[in-house]
Amino acid sequence: MRILVLGAGAVGGYFGGRLAEAGRDVTFLVRPARAALLEQRGLVVTSPLGDFTVTPRFVTADTLRGAYDVILLTAKHYDLDQAIAAIRPAVGPGTAILPLLNGLVHLDRLGEAFGGEAILGGVAYVGASLRPDGSIRHHNRLSGIAFGERAGGVSSRTRAIGAEFEGSKVSAPPSENVMLDMWEKFVMITTMAGMNCLMRGTIGEIAATEDGAALMLELFAENQAVAKAAGYPLRQSYIDQIGAMLTEKGSVNNASMHHDLAHGSRTEGEYIIGDMRHRAAALGVATPLLRAAWTHLQVYENRRAG
């Protein structure tokens, strides 16, 4: 399969790099400055699963030609319109678009642009960051993707995509129920990012306070209630696993949204925290802590916008 990866940042660079390492037909669509760096140094990844460097195939907007079988889409929500315009020349009648963005709001926007049948559901499980020198640091041993048909079940195209990851260091079997996978990740990231931002601290710093762990679990319960009302009750095994992770003492886990907020950067709050809040309101679910987290982020973004 011909695979196009939009960008070669932390997430796209990691997963695309692992595919390239495994000898797959991968091309990165990048900006000129990133292209120059890749040409000079290659794609360098340091990882607990093994460091590697590949000399990747890449194109820029002016050299992108022909349709691809799969497009791996990793972008910030607020850059999605630019991402749609960038990949449009690479989308053919049989192209499958696999977005790895948090939340759900992007699915409708991509469907409007390319048709709903082209859009798969997807969730990334990885901790990675882009270093100033252009290399990628993989922080943990998480290295997986849940993806599949949004209507459920496993199709011939998702089996074919899953086969591309076989033999790589990415676990990516096609999912029977990817929308539940996406809702579970949506609930988790909304809870973690909401509390990290509201309390301006890591999970461990929040858990070290008198009421921090209890408040974290209260927000977790609110977001679970939204998912259940939407028709996607979380699996008990996931609730247990994430509940423990969100209240772990000494944990340095910290959502990238809080990192952006702490550095005065634009956040994805509108598309994650705000979208969950709007879904809760539409479904009639009471979410007092979620409302506080969303209001806090709105104050920050309004101040930042001047």
Euclidean distance between CA atoms 290 and 11, whole angstroms: 27
Region for 156 from its dihedrals, namely left if φ exceeds 0, alpha if ψ lies in -120 to 50, beta otherwise: alpha
Could you give the CA distance from residue 215 to residue 288 in angstroms, rounded to a whole number? 11
> 40 CB contacts (<8 Å, ≥6 apart)?
none
| Active-site hit among 169, 185, 228, 249 | 185
103-132 exposure pattern, b = at least 16 Cβ within 10 A, e = fewer? bbbbbebbeebbeeebbbbbbbbbbbebee
Catalytic site includes residue 185 = yes
Cα–Cα distance measured from residue 257 to residue 103, given in angstroms and rounded to the nearest whole number: 13
Please give the positions annotated as active site.
Answer: 185
